[in-house]
Structure 1
Amino acid sequence: MKNSSCRIFALFGVSVLSVLLVSCSLSAESKKEDPKPDVKKETVQSPAPAKKSNADAPKAPAKSTAVDKQKAPAQAPAKKEEVQPVEVKIAIDKADGIYKTGDTVTFTIQFLKDGKLTAGQKMGYYLHTDDGKKQMELYTSKAEPSQFQTKLTAPGSLRIEAAAFSEDGKVMKLEKGKKSVNVAAQVGVIADPLTIKPGFAEPADFQKFWDDGKAELAKIPLNPKLEKTEVPKTHQDRFQCWDVKVDSVGGTPVSGYLTIPAGAKPKSLPAIVHYHGAGVSSSRKIFNPKAISFDVNAHGIANGQSPEFYSNLSRNELSGYSHRNSGSREQFYFRNMFLRVQRALDFVKTLPEWDGKNLIVSGGSQGGGQAIVAAGMDPQVTLMFAAVPALCDHGGVLAGRESGWPRLIALKDGKPVDEKIVKASPYFDCAFFAKRIKADAYFTVGLVDRTCVPTSVYAAFNSIPGKKHMSTHPFKGHGGTSSTEFNAALGKVLDDNR
């Protein structure tokens, strides 16, 4: 690029919660989002000396049917929006953000004022690696795009963050209504993602542990309680809806809203079970004219209550649930949640309208983790969608990279703080449930996701032995990802069943 600023860095040892609904013909009475992820403070390291480079463009990665293929270069999706007073844009040279170890990533940063490239602005970018470290480089913008390069020396992900700086050395802010946002942009890349493995080994008695749990569950009668509940005017006369409770282990029931198209005949409909992301919320009423829909809240709590009801639970009874008793595989909070995942399927399979063959599970974040558990526990699941799934690769931190949410294992001086958690957490790692999936599996990953980091998602994805597909989103974080391939697969199931 003529007169462009170009530098190259070598990265050594790069190994580095919204609830999503499937958009295929689904409508929901209400939507909830996961809490905003906590952002860990990181220490800025001194940048390595910059080097100019005219390196060739990196070679294309090996072909794979497991990941989306798009045209290069990649830049944030175009959308019509007003010209901003100040703006930072970033682009990479591969649309899907997927590279091979040894490849050079070329990324381009632009600083714009009133939509025009502007020179003289103090700028900087950070290279965030999987081990939580970051490297910073400062430069001054020119009236043309600035181009930089970095080399990926090992499998793993890299998040590139560009920002404009004010005279006081702080990231520039832009007022948008009542909000103040950083004048910044970010993009993610990943090297050899299909080689990433879980950070620790599967316990020898993993299967027995969950078989014992399912045996305990089987001793408890379903005892379903269905209470007819209101259907919104837009769906009245076309659907029936029930608030459902089903008995499960630990005294906490499965709790969800069940909707079935009015007049559905026996054995006529596929069933879709939706699982919730992190947080505390009611189930949602989902109205799909071509399927049974069962939306299960994560905690077996009452549905349809006031916002204050759920806020109170979140602050008190369910505060910190994601780490509760994490040092005991028998007492860890997620044990009973995972068994409720199975119990929800047990219930749906008793419905006379179920066609007996199409059993679909779906969720995002924590709900994506539950969808993986469902498909791994129950071989009758035929189709699975896990968007930016949580509960994956708990052992990532032991392999020198971040683990996925909820980051169970803490380190001090490079060693685990609590060995009991290290011993218990593999039994709740979705990578090991993924190994048992028989269903067609569809995933999404946001390459700038800081909650369910890309390597954690791939650790689970790579464990699946059968048909699978990953949709990568270089500019997306923990939310807003989608899979057109899953939507097409779901649409085919629903249409073929008519």
Structure 2
Amino acid sequence: MKKSIFAIALTMSALALAAVERLPVLSAQTDRPEAVYRIGEPVTFIFSVQRDGTAVKEGILEVAVSQDSREILLKKSFDLASQTPLQVEITGKKPGFLLLNAAFNGKTGAQGFNSVAAAGIEPEKIQAGSAPPPDLLDYWYGEYEKLKQEVPPEFEVEPAGESPFCKRYRITANHFGGTKIRAGLAIPKKGNGKYPLIVSVPPAGNWGIPFWEYPGAMRLTITVFDRIFDKDKNTYEAFNKDLWYFYKGADRGRENYYYYKSILGVLRMLDYIKTRPEWDGKNLIAVGRSQGGGFALIMAALEPKMTALAADVPALCDHHAEKKERRAGWPQLLSKVPGFDEPSRYYDAANFAAYIKCPAILCVGFIDTMCTPSSVYAAYNNLQGEKKIYHGPLTGHGWGEKKMEFQLLPLKEFIQSNIR
């Protein structure tokens, strides 16, 4: 009986796998591999629908092209039984990104398609939806001074084991309201005892206290949370049940928004790490992805000793994008808390970018609907120093073509080239 049940289970699994494999696959691209155009130039999206490597000859393919994930500029349906070429042509009329969405037989996502290709239209001319507040840096320096005056840090540094390459330390410091800020520090075992310093904030989510490493450098990873979540008791899920942390407190004003203490905590940890004797005293690089990319921009603006910045698909950019008829970057803050309009300017990484003069590299995914490409470019165009941006024309937020090449290689090469 057990063998029969096992055989049935295997058969059902095989059938399920076969069904998945038989799902149609849409390939889409622009007529230019780089997918960047000038205003007024025609953009041609070319696509094919295949199943197991063979063109699908039945079904309805629906496509829509939007301007920056907002206004629908073009819609068209294709009967795959016909011989109609699967392509659409459209002309970009303003700086931004044209996003192609597709659906197969009325379905999107796992059963069909959604964002599949995009084209940048003079993205170097994209402007953020709001200007930086004139007192942006002064405001945060003032709030940090208040923290230093009212709450002594009382840093606690505890050994936290080691990896084959690094010794690890858990760092804790006091914060407002009796809370704590925490970070993980990894210091190489080998070398001359003086190392470049890389500082990071993790992407969104519960990462605990990370001890991330980088070859030949000491690395500090700072959490955004004022607490430790117990994974066994699902406390992170409970904490976010009613409202995600990245919206919490925004309805109660600027100093009550959740990232208020996160930013001040980052500044406190930066002050500590610069006192470590292992730091070489000259190389200080902010690195991050998504939420961490947004914080990398914030750190690079607020820390005068920052020597380089590497931000992969940075979040927290262009909160006021809707004023320019664009979708804002993650977490689309004002769509959830519209009353936070003016205070949100003090949490907009694109505004912090206007104060960054160190060398910088940003990575942007053209089909990223979370950290939208226009929001990343809003930040990039505000950078004041030497800068470079790496395009992923068919890359989304952790999906799409050449994901690992897009995320890792350009950033690593940039970091290495900026260590003196």
Instruction: With the length of structure 2 as denominator, give the TM-score of the two structures.
Output: 0.85
Q: Aligned residue for 2:302?
A: 377
The 5 A counterparts of 1:153-164 are 153-164=93-104
The 1:417–1:488 alpha-carbon spacing in structure 2 relative to 1, beyond 3 Å, is closer
Answering whether residue 49 of structure 2 is matched by residue 111 of structure 1, we say yes
How far does residue 368 in structure 1 lie from its aligned partner after superposition? 0.8
The 5 A counterparts of 1:418-433 are 418=339, 421-433=340-352
Secondary structure (helix, strand or coil) at the match of 1:315 reads coil
How far does residue 303 in structure 1 lie from its aligned partner after superposition? 7.3
Q: Which amino acid aligns with 2:154?
A: N
The 5 A counterparts of 1:57-76 are none
How far does residue 249 in structure 1 lie from its aligned partner after superposition? 4.2
Q: Which amino acid aligns with 1:301?
A: R
How far does residue 120 in structure 1 lie from its aligned partner after superposition? 4.2
Q: Aligned residue for 1:310?
A: 236
Secondary structure (helix, strand or coil) at the match of 1:472 reads strand
Q: Aligned residue for 1:283?
A: 209
- Give CA deviations for 1:440-498 in whole Å, capped at 9, x if unaligned: 1111111111111111111111111111111111212112442633311212355x6xx
The 1:183–1:206 alpha-carbon spacing in structure 2 relative to 1, beyond 3 Å, is closer
Q: Which amino acid aligns with 1:353?
A: E
Unmatched 5+ stretches in structure 2: 1-19
Q: Partners in 2 of 1:471 and 1:388 — Cα distance?
A: 10
Q: Aligned residue for 2:225?
A: 299
User: 1:274–1:367: 8 Å Cα contact kept in structure 2?
Assistant: yes
Q: Which amino acid aligns with 2:316?
A: L
Q: Which amino acid aligns with 2:162?
A: V
Secondary structure (helix, strand or coil) at the match of 1:89 reads strand
Answering whether residue 143 of structure 2 is matched by residue 213 of structure 1, we say yes
Q: Partners in 2 of 1:184 and 1:303 — Cα distance?
A: 34
Q: Partners in 2 of 1:377 and 1:409 — Cα distance?
A: 24
Q: Which amino acid aligns with 1:357?
A: K
User: 2:171–2:184: 8 Å Cα contact kept in structure 1?
Assistant: yes
Q: Partners in 2 of 1:340 and 1:110 — Cα distance?
A: 50
- Give CA deviations for 1:118-158 in whole Å, capped at 9, x if unaligned: 43442221112226233421012356852321111111111
How far does residue 83 in structure 1 lie from its aligned partner after superposition? 7.6
CA root-mean-square deviation: 2.7
- Match for 2:317 among 376, 392, 398? 392
User: 2:182–2:223: 8 Å Cα contact kept in structure 1?
Assistant: yes
Q: Size of the alignment, in residue pairs?
A: 392
Unmatched 5+ stretches in structure 1: 1-81, 174-179
Secondary structure (helix, strand or coil) at the match of 2:268 reads helix
Q: Aligned residue for 2:79?
A: 140
How far does residue 341 in structure 1 lie from its aligned partner after superposition? 1.9
Answering whether residue 332 of structure 2 is matched by residue 407 of structure 1, we say yes
Secondary structure (helix, strand or coil) at the match of 2:228 reads coil
Instruction: With the length of structure 1 as denominator, give the TM-score of the two structures.
Output: 0.72
User: 1:117–1:144: 8 Å Cα contact kept in structure 2?
Assistant: no
Q: Which amino acid aligns with 1:158?
A: L
How far does residue 313 in structure 1 lie from its aligned partner after superposition? 3.2
Q: Partners in 2 of 1:448 and 1:240 — Cα distance?
A: 39
- Give CA deviations for 1:58-97 in whole Å, capped at 9, x if unaligned: xxxxxxxxxxxxxxxxxxxxxxxx9856322112122222
Q: Partners in 2 of 1:426 and 1:85 — Cα distance?
A: 44
Answering whether residue 91 of structure 2 is matched by residue 151 of structure 1, we say yes
User: 1:97–1:472: 8 Å Cα contact kept in structure 2?
Assistant: no
- Match for 1:486 among 387, 404, 411? 411
How far does residue 407 in structure 1 lie from its aligned partner after superposition? 2.1
Q: Partners in 2 of 1:85 and 1:96 — Cα distance?
A: 28
How far does residue 185 in structure 1 lie from its aligned partner after superposition? 6.3
Q: Which amino acid aligns with 2:201?
A: Y
Secondary structure (helix, strand or coil) at the match of 1:482 reads helix
Q: Which amino acid aligns with 1:487?
A: K
Q: Aligned residue for 1:464?
A: 383
Segment of structure 1 superposing worse, 463-472 or 285-294: 285-294
Secondary structure (helix, strand or coil) at the match of 1:199 reads coil
Secondary structure (helix, strand or coil) at the match of 1:230 reads strand
Q: Aligned residue for 1:448?
A: 367
The 1:278–1:270 alpha-carbon spacing in structure 2 relative to 1, beyond 3 Å, is same
Q: Which amino acid aligns with 2:46?
A: T
- Give CA deviations for 1:362-384 in whole Å, capped at 9, x if unaligned: 11111111110000001211111
Answering whether residue 196 of structure 2 is matched by residue 258 of structure 1, we say no
Secondary structure (helix, strand or coil) at the match of 2:161 reads coil
Q: Partners in 2 of 1:287 and 1:429 — Cα distance?
A: 28
Q: Which amino acid aligns with 1:348?
A: I
Q: Partners in 1 of 2:115 and 2:85 — Cα distance?
A: 14
Answering whether residue 312 of structure 2 is matched by residue 356 of structure 1, we say no
Segment of structure 1 superposing worse, 388-397 or 248-257: 248-257
Greater length-normalized contact order (CA 8 Å, ≥ 6 residues apart): 1
Percentage of pairs with the same residue: 28
Q: Partners in 2 of 1:159 and 1:323 — Cα distance?
A: 31
Segment of structure 1 superposing worse, 121-130 or 368-377: 121-130
Q: Partners in 2 of 1:486 and 1:307 — Cα distance?
A: 36
User: 1:323–1:408: 8 Å Cα contact kept in structure 2?
Assistant: no
Q: Partners in 1 of 2:206 and 2:312 — Cα distance?
A: 19
Q: Which amino acid aligns with 2:133?
A: P
Q: Partners in 2 of 1:390 and 1:272 — Cα distance?
A: 19
User: 2:102–2:108: 8 Å Cα contact kept in structure 1?
Assistant: no
- Give CA deviations for 1:361-410 in whole Å, capped at 9, x if unaligned: 11111111111000000121111111111111111112222222222324
The 1:306–1:347 alpha-carbon spacing in structure 2 relative to 1, beyond 3 Å, is farther
Answering whether residue 158 of structure 2 is matched by residue 227 of structure 1, we say yes
User: 1:171–1:183: 8 Å Cα contact kept in structure 2?
Assistant: yes
Secondary structure (helix, strand or coil) at the match of 1:409 reads helix
Q: Partners in 2 of 1:191 and 1:323 — Cα distance?
A: 35
Secondary structure (helix, strand or coil) at the match of 1:228 reads strand
